[in-house]
Amino acid sequence: MDHDEELERALAGISGDLNSQPAESEPERRERPAPAAAPARGPAPTSDGNLKSVRNSVLVDLQPLATQINLPNTKKFELLMQIYDATKDTKLIELAYQAGRSIDNESERADALLRVIREIDALG
pTM over the 0.85 mark: no
pLDDT in tens, 6-47: 666 666 665 544 444 444 444 444 455 555 555 555 555 555
pLDDT in tens, 57-81: 999 999 999 889 999 999 999 999 9
3-class secondary structure per residue, the chain: CCHHHHHHHHHHHHHHHHHCCCCCCHHHHHHCCCCCCCCCCCCCCCCCCCHHHHHHHHHHHHHHHHHHCCCCHHHHHHHHHHHHHHHCCCHHHHHHHHHHHCCCCHHHHHHHHHHHHHHHHHHC
Q: Where are the domains of the chain?
A: 1-10+72-124
